[in-house]
Chain A
């Protein structure tokens, strides 16, 4: 069970208010899609969930406990790009999470433990359709394949929460449909809560069980930085929970 609660959250950078008075409750296994204009703080919100940014005021709770102030294995992240490790091939990239967890000192598994991890990695690799690319390096993959790998890399660690920061923003429209199917499949198999920032309104409705719209409620034309954005719409959607 994973519940995310946000209470009266504010975020300022040097007097520049980015988010103000954000309140939210998200239940276990929800698929939250977040949209809003550029610069309205939706990525900042995601970064706070990730633990890279801290709240100026207010509370950010996961299952009632305050959020750790740094990134950790309970929250996975998929960025738009650059989150793969260029010196590891596809299989090694996927294996990394298991190795880090299993071998604190060397960060590498050997013998039977390695074989078990490899089996799991290969299984997931097949599920995301990258079986034939196992020994390629990330730079040899197409954008869509890179994002599949990046998603699989996070999923293999079984995070309670998976954060997606415009993960399909740089992909061809044709590929996005496949990616949507993939992310829904993984979301249903692994029962995690997903927060996904997107620019694509259609995507946000198609995937989410809950849609959040970030926007400014108050605007001072003389001092545009005085007020921040907040959640203006919090719309429960039917989503795909029943579909799979």
Chain B
């Protein structure tokens, strides 16, 4: 008998094992839901799959009685727009500042401590300031995501840039590279895959800030909807919305990973 650390599941086994926890969770949900509904058909906490399906149909495929909108799609569009704007602004700012901090000692000495300090401010604590300063509109929500995510990306990329072997930087200079050329031909191209990694890791917090901002002041959005229907204990809405948010986050993560693999083939050889 080989040691446990040397035993690996086969291909089929891997798939079965990865399904197992999900199946168990689903089974547990169905069991509890059934038991509660048998006792009290009006129970709202663990709605039956049929109720959930009906709600999904109503939200995704039927016009809302009051507004005439397809709520799920309105909410998804609003949230994704805010999230992608926040993430792209953070990525671009993160790349520009991270490179400057990582490569130029004078810039590092000037703004690295500031960025370190800013990154320690809890973003939700400045949300009231944002609401006061820029109002309750889209700008406040996007800014919250940027404030929460950008400093982390800046610090991560600055560290990654400094981690490049000094030999490379010196070699480039002996090949005649100016500071600018060093940045655009040597450091920047090697930072793209790392930026994607940083964005993948930031996805979770970006969603967190988005939903927090939407919960407090919004008129549409996935986070807004969840917090709106919470008042009616509408678990049949909340559960599919949470699942939908998770799926969106998963797809974004997967797309970023795919982009990294397809675009930066060299990074796979390290």
Contacts and interface: CB of A to CB of B under 8 A. Distances in A.
A88 B175 CA distance: 15
Contact of A81 (B167, B174, B176, B264): B167
A139 B190 contact: no
Interface string B175-191: 11110110011100110
Contact of A157 (B175, B186, B269): B175
Nearest to A78: B171
B165 interface: yes
Contacts of A100: 172, 175-178, 181, 185
Interface in A124-164: 137, 139-140, 150, 153-154, 157, 159
A156 to B, nearest CB: 8
Identify which of A73, A76, A85, A140 gathers the most chain B CB atoms within 10 Å of its CB. A85
A72 interface: yes
Contacts of A79: 167, 170-171
Tell me the interface secondary structure of chain A in the complex: loop
B259 to A, nearest CB: 16
Contacts of B186: 85
B197 to A, nearest CB: 15
Given A82-B168, A85-B186, A86-B190, A72 B173 contact: yes
A77 B170 contact: yes
Interface in B150-169: 165, 167-168
A71 B190 contact: no
Interface string A16-56: 00000000000000000000000000000000001010000
A57 interface: no
A87 interface: yes
B262 interface: no
Q: How large is the interface on A (under 10, 10 to 19, 20 to 34, 35 or more residues)?
A: 35 or more
- Of B167, B168, B171, B174, the most chain A CB neighbours within 10 A belong to B174
B190 A73 contact: no
A139 B174 contact: no
Given A96-B175, A100-B175, A52 B184 contact: no
B270 interface: yes
A235 B270 CA distance: 43
A87 B167 contact: no
B184 A107 contact: yes
Chain B binding site: helix, strand, loop or mixed by DSSP?
helix
A50 B184 CA distance: 23
B266 interface: yes
Contact of B264 (A87, A154, A157): A87
Contact of A86 (B173, B178, B266): B266
Given A87-B189, A87-B266, A153 B175 contact: yes
A154 B170 CA distance: 12
A106 interface: yes
B174 A140 contact: no
B176 A97 contact: yes
Contact of B269 (A106, A137, A153): A137
Contacts of A104: 178, 181
Which of B167, B168, B267, B269 has the most chain A CB atoms inside 10 A of its CB?
A: B167
Contacts of A153: 171, 175
Contacts of A108: 185
Contacts of A71: 170, 173-174
Contacts of A70: 173
Given A86-B190, A87-B190, A153-B171, A139 B176 contact: no
A76 B177 CA distance: 12
A75 interface: yes
A8 interface: no
A83 interface: yes
A5 B176 CA distance: 23
B250 to A, nearest CB: 28
A82 B181 CA distance: 19
A24 B256 CA distance: 57
A77 to B, nearest CB: 5
A71 to B, nearest CB: 4
A205 B176 CA distance: 32
B175 A83 contact: no
Given A72-B176, A100-B177, A107-B185, A52 B170 contact: yes
Interface of A: 50, 52, 70-73, 75-77, 79, 81-89, 96-97, 99-101, 104-108, 137, 139-140, 150, 153-154, 157, 159
22 contacts: A50-B174, A52-B170, A71-B170, A72-B173, A72-B174, A73-B174, A82-B167, A82-B168, A83-B167, A83-B170, A85-B168, A85-B190, A87-B189, A87-B264, A87-B267, A88-B266, A100-B172, A100-B177, A101-B176, A106-B184, A139-B266, A157-B174
